Amino acid sequence: MDKKVLVYSTPTCPYCVRAKQFLKDNSVAFEDIDVSINQAAASEMVSKSGQMGVPVLEIDGEIIVGFDKERIKTAVGL
């Protein structure tokens, strides 16, 4: 079954762009949440990850801070 993947990002952050591109390249469907225009989502991201850096990925409940390719691969099962 496909995993639920959320990406908390801002449009200007290069690692966000890279993380999303990586998911696209590997045909992983995800929901992109732009925290620069969605304050509620920004707060949610901070409380879930305990920090304010973007991107934050949530893969079936697992929180990954930053574009950590290896952890993302493992979490989505690539």
Partner 1 sequence: MYDLIIIGAGPAGITAAVYAARKRMSLLVITKDVGGQAAISGDIENYTGYQFITGPELAAKFEEHMRRFDIALKENEEAVELKKIDDKILVRTNKVSYETKTAIIASGKRSRELNVPGEKEFRNKGLTYCATCDAPLFSGKVVAVIGGGNSALDAALQLIKIAKHTYIINIASSLSGDAIMREKINESEIVTVFNNTQVTAIFGDKMVTGIKIKREGKEEDLAVQGVFIEIGLIPNSEFAQGIERNQSQEIKVNCHNETNIPGVFAAGDVTDVPEKQIIIAAGEGSKAALSVFRYLARA
Residues that bind partner 1 (CB under 8 A): 10, 12-18, 35-37, 39, 42, 46, 50-54, 65, 68-70
Q: Which is nearer to partner 1, 2 or 70 (CB)?
A: 70
Q: Which is nearer to partner 1, 1 or 39 (CB)?
A: 39
Q: Token pair 């690692």 is at which residue?
A: 15
> What does residue 60 show for φ and ψ, rounded to 5 degrees?
50, 45
Q: How far is the CB of 60 from partner 1 (least distance, A)?
A: 22
* Chain centroid, CA 77 distance in Å: 15
* Chain centroid, CA 22 distance in Å: 11
